[in-house]
Each structure stands twice: as structure tokens, then as C-alpha cells.
Chain A
């Protein structure tokens, strides 16, 4: 049996959601890298001073 195909409208909606999710993921991952970097630098400068 062939899997049910999405209509064009459903496919567009699906792709729009997937796109926003991907962008959100990238932003969160970059933010985490920045946060961990800043925390590490702050810890280092705190322990030096």
C-alpha cells in the first residue's frame, strides 16, 4: 500500500513549520555555545582576580 501523500497546502505548512524549527534550533545552539563560553571566561577572570 502506498503511503498517504500530503496535499500541496499541507506540504507547504509542514515545510514552514520545519523551517522555523530548524532556525529556532540553530539559534538555541548558538546561544548555548555563547553562554558556556561567557561563563567559562567569567569563571577564569573571577578566579584570577
Chain B
């Protein structure tokens, strides 16, 4: 089946579909950010005590992804003015004029409602409420309130990205416990050094858009110091599940190695050859490496927790 267009004297022309518009709608959901929340939410679900039907578990993960995407979509609607002036984001569907802002907002709101409703129906309404809370936090607290007002935007706003392990856990158990709160704290403390490493070498865009990222407001030197401070908090936090007996030595070994690795990279960021203002003289090599390592750090830590949990469940480790 295809639409036909009358071309006068010539034969009617078959119209094939143009998928670029659907790709634009999908891009509104920030698929790359989705990967992180899906992964941490999945681990929260895997390490939770109890059993969830695999279909319901998959539905819960789908809802977490959908909710995160919906929040990202509303964020793109609200930030369309600053996205238009930043090189990294100017080609996004809204600033590029390919999708109308109002349509994107409707899309985000509908998906938000759908994800929460589906989560409540598939698992429990406590998980639905946590998911709703995370969407509202990202949209109202981070996007609309903090992002344009304070260099602490990433610190407090980072909580929005830290909710998925709790949501995954609550989807299984119906309530919150100590371990998901520690996982929340780990992602929360991980977010600032992760984003500030990125912003050290990509802050021109933020400056142009007037977004008060830490390197823009306080300078590169202070940003390097803050990356070190947060990494000093993050390293012991990563070890906490083992210290409290909530995870075994396999996870502990990974936590020590990854924490030490992140500290090493933070130290290199701090000690990188720089001018008096802290601007790198060698192209922010250390910050780029720290940013890449931060991704490995979080993925490794959460993977190790899931592996440790399985080994323990199989009786291979105590």
C-alpha cells in the first residue's frame, strides 16, 4: 500500500515513507542518557530481594526508559532557546525547526503519564510514584529551576539520574531499603565529577548559552578541585555495600579498584599542566580521560554488584 500522487499527464507516483521524522521524535527521548538509567535501574531490580515475573520486570525497565525519555523530551522543549545557540545541540529537532515545540511538549507529557501508569499497573504504585517523582524532579527542579541559575545545577539535578536503582528495587519489593539508597548516593556523587570533566573541555558552548556551569562561573581551577573533592566522597561510597555486608568481596574488590582508578584520574586532572586560571596547556587530556573513565567506573561498579549478587545467590561466594 502506498499513497499516490497524480502527476498530471504522467503515471501516478508511489510515495514511500520518510523515516527522518520518526528518527527526530526518537532523538527527543535522548537515547544515550536512557542507556545509563536503564542499566542502573536494571541492576537495582536484579539485586532486590524477591521475585518479579520476567515480563513485568521487562515492562518496568521499559517504563524507566520511557519516563527518562519523556523527561528528556520536556527538557528539550524548555531548553530550545539555549540549545539553538550551543554548537553541540543546535541540530536537535526543535532548534533545527524540524519538530514544533508544542508538539514536543505534548509528546513528553503523554509519554510521562504513560510510563507512570504502565509502571503502576505492571509492578506497584510505589514504583510508579518514584518514577513520577524522578520525572518531576528532572523537569521542574533541574531543568526549570537549577540549570540556568546555579553552578550547583549538576550536583542537585544529578539526583534525577540517581533515581533508577531505587525505582528498579521498588518495582520488585514495593518499598525502599538501605542498598538502593546507597546506589542512589553513588550515582549522585558520581554525576558532578563526570559532568565537570566533560565541561572542562566543552564549556565554550555553555558560556555562549549563559548556562552557569562550574568552569564558566568559578573557573577551571576550582572545577578541578571540586572534581577531586567529589571523587574523594565517591570512592568510599562505592565500598559501602561491602562494608555494610550488603555485597560480597567480589564487589568490594571492584569497588576498591574502580574507586582508586577514578581517584588517580581526578589527581591527574588536578595536576594537569595549566595556566594561572587552571586552563589546560595540553588540551585537557586528563579531563577527557577522567570523563571516559567515569563511564567505565559506573558501569563496572553496577555490573560488579549484579555479578556479586548472582555468585552469592548461587552459593559460590558467601
Contact = CB atoms under 8 A, between A and B. Distances in A.
Interface of A: 8, 11-13, 15-21, 23-24, 35-36, 38-39, 41-43, 45-46
Contact of B15 (A12, A24, A38, A45): A12
B102 interface: no
A35 B55 CA distance: 9
A38 B118 CA distance: 12
B121 interface: yes
30 contacts: A11-B5, A15-B3, A15-B5, A15-B15, A16-B16, A16-B17, A18-B3, A19-B2, A19-B15, A19-B16, A19-B17, A20-B22, A21-B21, A21-B22, A24-B25, A35-B59, A35-B62, A39-B59, A39-B121, A41-B55, A42-B53, A42-B54, A42-B56, A42-B59, A43-B53, A43-B56, A43-B122, A45-B53, A46-B53, A46-B56
Given A15-B3, A35-B62, 13 more contacts: A8-B5, A16-B18, A18-B3, A20-B18, A20-B22, A21-B21, A23-B17, A39-B56, A39-B118, A39-B121, A41-B55, A42-B54, A42-B56
Contacts of A11: 5
A12 B5 contact: yes
Contacts of A36: 121
A15 B21 CA distance: 12
A16 B59 CA distance: 32
Give chain B's interface residue range (CB within 8 Å of chain A).
Answer: 20 to 34
B17 A38 contact: no
B13 interface: yes
B56 A20 contact: no
Interface in B1-37: 2-3, 5, 7, 13, 15-19, 21-22, 25
A42 B55 contact: yes
A8 B18 contact: no
B14 to A, nearest CB: 10
A2 B54 CA distance: 59
A9 B92 CA distance: 25
A40 B298 CA distance: 35
A12 B56 CA distance: 43
B57 to A, nearest CB: 9
Nearest to B18: A16
Contact of B18 (A19, A35, A45, A46): A19
